[in-house]
Amino acid sequence: MPSLRLGSTAPDFEAQTTTGPIKFHEFIGDSWVILSSHPGVFTPVCTTEFGEVARRASEFSNRNVEVIGISVNSLEDHYKWIQDINDYGSKVGPTDVRFPIDATNRNAKGLPFAIRSVFVIDPKKVIRLTISYPASTGRNIDEILRLLGDKYCVTTPVNWKKGEDVIVHSTVSTEHAKELFKDVTVHKRDALKGMKRTFLQ
């Protein structure tokens, strides 16, 4: 399998999932995709993660984002685990896992492997984000949703949150920024050696 690096094309593959067979590039279609690998079924951390993603499904769909999980366990185990996730989720909020989970994750030698990682893939099948977590640490869904803002031609300053000002990408001229966005403020600072930086409010 090719190296999964930022800017590289996500490999195409066929898999049996909990929602039926898929071809990955067809599954992506014209959507953004979050591919989430997990160490194993019935583990406490993964159960809370997948339950949270299921509960917040509308936040992903509103952003034109599809979600797919990948693991080393059997399809039968995943069907049972989905019921377990839904049972757990019902205690903290409505949960209904509907996104596919692929059970064919193996390395180049055909041996099963797993790591707690997240890949964000754009509609052109390009990998735009990768995050790997230690097995003891659950994913931060708010942070993943925040990072999906990468699909716009803006950059975010330190500790940025939704609703705050962003910075138009330096490759976009001020004139073009004003065509793209309504509220544009241009700042000049000596520290930037006279370079213009365009901010959206």
**Residue 153 annotated in active site:** no
Catalytic residue, candidates 46, 82, 97, 127: 46
Q: Which residues pair with 127 in a beta bridge?
A: 121
- DSSP for the chain? -----TTSBPPP-EEEETTEEEEHHHHHTTSEEEEEE-S-TT-HHHHHHHHHHHHTHHHHHTTTEEEEEE-SS-HHHHHHHHHHHHHHHTTTS-----S-EE---B-TTS-B---EEEEEE-TTSBEEEEEEE-TTS---HHHHHHHGGGGSSEE--TT--TTS-EEE-TTS-HHHHHHH-S-EEEEE-GGGTT-EEEEE-
* Neighbouring residues of 159: CB distance < 8 A, sequence distance ≥ 6: none
Gap between the Cα atoms of 43 and 71, Å rounded: 12
Question: Which residues are annotated as catalytic?
Answer: 46
